[in-house]
């Protein structure tokens, strides 16, 4: 097995993306994501790749569009306010069926907000990063190792479905160091017969475009795209379930807050409270299968988030009235303590009379 | 010796608290344990203070943010004042008295006062007060094997500053004997 190294989450994302064959990085600095860009600036030239600090986030995402249209493995990264700026370009990528990786190392919002960790871009990432009917596949790693694993796989998934993929991290995961085993560099990358690489009079033009002036044609394309999304929903859901088999209280939490929720669940078990944890690893597609497996045994669900309550909507849609769904959150960059999550579990346990 | 260690290291920017935390974390890496290292990166960094949380454990680590440390390593007065009451009863506080002149006594924790920066400077190791403190932490808790500590230094000092390796190891020794 490869050697374990100590790395920041931001650096692990960058190194792993390079090992996944990413050779183009376009970005613009913003805390708490900047180490990722800095790492790319140092490493990309050594791999024969391109690191470019664009004049703005908007320029960067349009460079991603261009490189992707030419068939390259390409990414950009930013933090919340910068990701908002990229939204138009991501919508264009979705409309042109272009793969690419967008990383959001979230900070508190709205507006310029804070620079501390947050999960308040859940809705943006999973519902509507930009205008129009489209989805991105969204990964929510919760360890530095998972940061590396998600970045490594994201390009394959993006290419397979020709979709933009997002890794939704946060300032805590980006800044912290943990041991990580980095993956082996990929040597075989998929063919992209749709890419605009020059037809040399040997084939039809390939065109990367999101403009369709005929209503029926755009209607057909949207329906086709959503058929593809259904396949993604069937194939790509990922979640980790911990002690849920006999759990009365199922906590649902992702990313950084899942780490805290896990500590709280372990403490609750020591008190004799039957608590468990479902940790979505994909936020879109939302891991409905993992949650549905607990319907009938769970008496109540508790969504723990670093926002005012966003993923709780998807938990409620999945549970569909079959059990109460509670929420606990902190915002603005405050990381909840395991003790306050445990208090909430204890309070709920009193109510359900388990 | 407790197998789990949750430390807050705090001081002025430039005193090397983040590096000291990295040495502790690297000792955990070498011994193949669970660990996390989380720096402060907020506006306080610009205001001159820096801190980091380090956890070593045999179980997966939940929150890497240590709110109630087993050990506080305080390298200046504001950091001591900020974290002194957060340390768990039975915990350990190591204060660098060079810059922590006013000690708030607590009778439920072990308090070690080390004149770390002075000790380092007197030995010609200016700027290695942070590593003196790590040496003291090792002497008090035995958080890793002795040889692991030296290996962690080898690991953390960048190759182009290799001359610093022996100086860091000497600072560790000074801390252990302080």
Q: pLDDT per position in chain A (354 positions), as tens?
A: 679 999 999 999 999 999 999 999 999 999 999 999 999 999 999 999 999 999 999 999 999 999 999 999 999 999 999 999 999 999 999 999 999 999 999 999 999 999 999 999 999 999 989 999 999 999 999 999 999 999 999 999 999 999 999 999 999 999 999 999 999 999 999 999 999 999 999 999 999 999 999 999 999 999 999 999 999 999 999 999 999 999 999 999 999 999 999 999 999 999 999 999 999 999 999 999 999 999 999 999 999 999 999 999 999 999 999 999 999 999 999 999 999 999 999 999 999 865
Q: Contacts of residue B42 in chain A, CB cutoff 8 Å?
A: 114-116, 333
Residue A108 and residue A195 in one domain = yes
Q: How far apart are CA A199 and CA A201, in angstroms?
A: 5
Provide the shortest C-alpha distance from residue B108 to chain A (in Å): 22
Q: How far apart are CA A211 and CA B125, in angstroms?
A: 66
Contact criterion met (CB < 8 Å) for A259 and B64 = yes
How many structural domains are present in chain A?
2
With an 8 Å Cβ cutoff, is B148 touching chain A?
Answer: no
State the best of A31, A178, A240 to mutate against chain B, taking most chain B CBs within 10 Å.
A178
C-alpha of A56 from chain center: 22
Q: Contacts of residue B32 in chain A, CB cutoff 8 Å?
A: 4
Provide the shortest C-alpha distance from residue B101 to chain A (in Å): 32
C-alpha of A19 from chain center: 19
Residue A177 and residue A256 in one domain = no
Tell me phi and psi for residue A7, to 5 degrees: -145, 155
ipTM score: 0.94
Residue ranges of the alpha helices (H) in B4-128? 17-30, 43-46, 77-83, 116-122
Q: Which of residues 322-341 of A touch B (CB under 8 A)?
A: 333, 335, 337-338
Q: Is B147 exposed, middle or buried (0-12, 13-18, 19+ CB in 10 A)?
A: exposed
Q: What is the CATH number of the domain that holds A303?
A: 3.40.50.920
Residue A151 and residue A215 in one domain = yes
Residue A258 and residue A161 in one domain = no
10 Å Cβ neighbour count for A275? 28
- Considering only CB atoms, A6 lies closest to which of B29, B39, B60, namely B29
| Chain B CA closest to residue A335 | B65
Q: What is the CATH number of the domain that holds B127?
A: 3.40.920.10
Contact criterion met (CB < 8 Å) for B41 and A171 = yes
Provide the shortest C-alpha distance from residue B121 to chain A (in Å): 30
The C-alpha angle with vertex A326 and arms to A311 and A172, in degrees rounded to 5, equals: 45
Q: Is A300 exposed, middle or buried (0-12, 13-18, 19+ CB in 10 A)?
A: buried
Residue A212 and residue A249 in one domain = no
- For residue A117, give the nearest of A132, A129, A103, A106 by alpha carbon: A106
Domain extent, residue B54, equals 5-177
Q: Which of A205, A235, A265 is the last residue of a domain?
A: A235
Residue A17 and residue A87 in one domain = yes
Q: Contacts of residue A33 in chain B, CB cutoff 8 Å?
A: none
How many structural domains are present in chain B?
1
What pTM was computed for the model? 0.95
Residue A123 and residue A43 in one domain = yes
Domain extent, residue A245, equals 239-352
Contact A171, A335 (CB under 8 A): no
Would strands A249-252 and B71-74 be described as parallel, antiparallel, or unpaired?
unpaired
Q: Which of A235, A265, A283 is the last residue of a domain?
A: A235
Q: Which of A177, A204, A235 is the last residue of a domain?
A: A235
With an 8 Å Cβ cutoff, is A260 touching chain B?
Answer: yes
Cβ within 8 Å of residue A194, ≥6 positions away: A97, A162, A206
Residue A200 and residue A54 in one domain = yes
């Amino acid at each position: 097995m490869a050697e374990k190294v100590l790395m920041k989450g931001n650096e692990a994302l960058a190194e792993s993306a390079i090992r996944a064959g990413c050779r183009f990085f376009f970005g613009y600095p913003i805390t708490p994501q900047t180490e990722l860009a800095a790492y790319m600036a140092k490493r990309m030239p050594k791999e024969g790749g391109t690191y470019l600090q664009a004049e703005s986030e908007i320029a960067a995402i349009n460079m991603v569009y261009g490189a992707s249209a030419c068939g390259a493995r390409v990414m950009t990264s930013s933090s919340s306010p910068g990701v908002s700026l990229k939204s138009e370009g991501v919508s264009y990528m979705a409309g042109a069926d272009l793969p690419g990786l967008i990383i959001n190392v979230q900070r508190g919002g709205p507006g310029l907000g804070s620079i501390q960790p947050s999960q308040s871009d859940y809705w943006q990432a999973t519902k509507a990063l930009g205008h129009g009917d489209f989805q991105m596949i969204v990964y929510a790693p919760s360890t530095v190792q998972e940061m590396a694993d998600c970045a490594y796989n994201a390009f394959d998934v993006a290419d397979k479905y020709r979709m933009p993929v997002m890794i939704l991290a946060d300032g805590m995961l980006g800044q912290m160091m943990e041991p990580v085993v980095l993956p082996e560099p990929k040597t075989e990358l998929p063919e992209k017969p749709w890419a605009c690489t020059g037809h040399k009079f040997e084939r039809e033009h390939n065109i990367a475009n999101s403009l369709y002036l005929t209503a029926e044609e755009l209607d057909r394309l949207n329906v086709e795209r959503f058929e593809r999304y259904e396949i993604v929903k069937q194939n790509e859901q990922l979640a980790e379930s911990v002690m849920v088999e006999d759990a009365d209280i199922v906590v649902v939490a992702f990313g950084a807050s899942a780490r805290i929720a896990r500590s709280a669940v372990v403490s609750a078990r020591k008190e004799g409270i039957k608590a468990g944890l479902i940790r979505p690893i994909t936020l879109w597609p939302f891991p409905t299968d993992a949650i549905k497996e607990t319907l009938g045994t769970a008496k109540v669900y508790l969504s723990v988030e670093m926002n005012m309550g966003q993923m709780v909507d998807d938990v409620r849609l999945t549970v569909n009235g079959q059990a109460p769904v509670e929420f606990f959150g902190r915002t603005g960059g405050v990381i909840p303590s395991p003790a306050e999550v445990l208090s909430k579990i204890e309070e709920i346990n009193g109510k359900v009379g388990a | 010796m407790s197998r789990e260690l949750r430390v807050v290291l705090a001081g002025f920017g430039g005193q090397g608290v983040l590096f000291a935390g990295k040495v502790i974390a690297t000792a955990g890496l070498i011994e193949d344990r669970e660990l996390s290292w989380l720096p402060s990166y907020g506006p306080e960094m610009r205001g001159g203070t820096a801190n980091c949380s380090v956890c070593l454990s045999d179980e997966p680590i939940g929150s890497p943010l240590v709110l109630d440390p087993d050990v506080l390593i305080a390298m200046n007065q504001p950091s001591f004042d900020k974290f002194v009451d957060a340390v768990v009863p039975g915990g350990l506080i190591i204060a660098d008295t060079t810059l922590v002149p006013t000690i708030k006594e607590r009778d439920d924790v072990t308090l070690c006062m080390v004149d770390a920066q002075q000790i380092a400077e007197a030995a010609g190791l200016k700027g290695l007060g942070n590593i003196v403190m790590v040496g003291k932490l090792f002497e008090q808790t035995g958080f890793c094997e002795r040889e692991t500590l030296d290996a962690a230094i080898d690991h953390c000092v960048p190759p182009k500053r290799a001359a610093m390796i022996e100086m860091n190891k000497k600072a560790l020794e000074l801390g252990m004997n302080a």
